[in-house]
Structure 1
Amino acid sequence: MTAILAATPPVPGGLTERTKHRLLDLVKRHGPLTAQDLAARLEVSVPATRRHLGDLQEQGLVEARTERPSGRGRPQHVYALTERGEGAFPKTYSGLCVDVLRHVAALFGEDAVTRVLASRTAEQARVLGAELPAALPAHVRAEVLARHLSEQGYDAVVDRVVEGGQETLYLVERNCPHLAVARQFPELCAAELTLYGELLGTAVTRETRIACGQGCCRYRVG
């Protein structure tokens, strides 16, 4: 396997870790496999394979399932990629999304892209809003939002900066999982800014933007 996305836990170098890369690649190419099948394909022992699988399970990249071979026979334990594991392989979703948005703009006008993204923002606000009640302290709400964003690949953290005895919250995204889209459709970034303001219940100001060549997306909260 030659490409790991930023959202995937880093796998250190070395022979052992290269074996784990090969293991992930086998599961990806050949579907759910037993530890015995993987050991035979890797040409390593079954106990060693199970150790690698255990490490990958801890990283959230593979999961164990119980299946019947071809729907018959005795149940057996097999290993499959999790959604996070699937994310370790290159995808072309960004290219597809850009093409779709271009067609939306061409067919229905430039403002149609804004309306589509506004609808998406409204849905996200409904889904996440229940986990960010107004009764929560501001920094807790920001932390919950950062956690959700990190699960989506943004590698988000909250900075609490104290100046002159006054604390300021910053939501910082150290990765943009939709960079190709954001560069061509700034409406996406505008929609995200609106979403964060709605979820946090206060003014949110973007100070830096990855799509503009800066190192992170940094939002001042409040």
Structure 2
Amino acid sequence: MRILRQSWGATLSDLRREIGLSPTALRQQLTLLERDGLVQRALARGRPGRPAIVYQPTTAAGPGSEEGFAALLTAVLRTMEEQGPERFGQILEGVATRLAADHGRIARIPHAEVRIRAALAVLFDVADEAAVTGGGREYEIVLRTCSLLPVAQQFRGLCAITRRLLGTLVGADVEQLESIAQGAPRCRFRLTLPGDAGAAT
């Protein structure tokens, strides 16, 4: 999203040069963003040959949307918190389960790294900046920014629901090794896949 906002649009080739993902992985992430109403397609005319498809951010993804969403999320979490810690935890768990069900197709992606990046695209607007390393059964994710940092600092449960949802979408055990909300310079996650899940990587 950062790249699309800065240039107000980019072709698949542009995004490949900037991010380094395969066309398949990029298309999967762009499909998710289109479905969520954050990206739209347009034809770039004025060049010789067939018009190129340009992916552009919609007004819903424009400047200030993160701040508005953070304020809304803070209000929702405060209201939930007033229900008491036990009920608060139950609601967060229910939200994670519902979101995982809504994005269940991600769990069916056979290649682990593509699955991880598709899950990151759902969870983070800075997913294109995430570093994903590893292979086989062990992967590590590093994020150096957090658009919901003010919310996460007030509600540590937000990090827990992120881990829960990431693990459900990817089909992995997730451990958070570092957290920006707790003063670290980055968020770092370790993902461990089941014994037979690394075969398709």
- Give the TM-score band, short-chain normalised: 0.5 to 0.7
CA contact (8 A) 2:177 2:188 kept: yes
- Pairwise CA distance, 1:126: 0.9
SS at match of 2:151: helix
Counterpart-to-counterpart distance in 2, 1:148 and 1:169: 18
- Over 3 Å counting, the alpha-carbon distance change for 1:138 and 1:113 in structure 2 is same
| Deviations, residues 195-221 of structure 1 (Å, cap 9, x unaligned) | 111122121111111101112211111
Structure 2 unaligned spans of 5+: 12-38, 41-56, 193-201
Structure 1 unaligned spans of 5+: 1-6, 13-54, 65-80
Counterpart-to-counterpart distance in 2, 1:118 and 1:197: 13
CA contact (8 A) 1:158 1:172 kept: yes
| Identity rate, percent | 24
Q: Give the match for residue 35 of structure 2.
A: none
Counterpart-to-counterpart distance in 2, 1:219 and 1:213: 15
CA contact (8 A) 1:207 1:220 kept: yes
| TM-score, normalised relative to structure 1 | 0.55
The 4+ residue runs of structure 1 with deviation greater than 4 A are: none
Mapped pair 1:173 → 2:143: yes
CA RMSD of aligned residues (A): 3.4
1:110 partner letter: P
- Over 3 Å counting, the alpha-carbon distance change for 1:86 and 1:128 in structure 2 is same
| Deviations, residues 70-124 of structure 1 (Å, cap 9, x unaligned) | xxxxxxxxxxx82355235673432343233223322x21222222222221121
Q: Give the match for residue 119 of structure 2.
A: 145
Q: Give the match for residue 194 of structure 1.
A: 164
Greater RCO structure (CA 8 Å; 6+ sep): 2
Counterpart-to-counterpart distance in 2, 1:138 and 1:176: 23
Counterpart-to-counterpart distance in 1, 2:64 and 2:77: 25
Q: Give the match for residue 62 of structure 2.
A: 86
- Pairwise CA distance, 1:137: 2.9
Q: Give the match for residue 105 of structure 2.
A: 130
Aligned length: 151
- Over 3 Å counting, the alpha-carbon distance change for 1:168 and 1:142 in structure 2 is same
Instruction: Return the index of the structure with the highest Cα Rg.
Output: 1
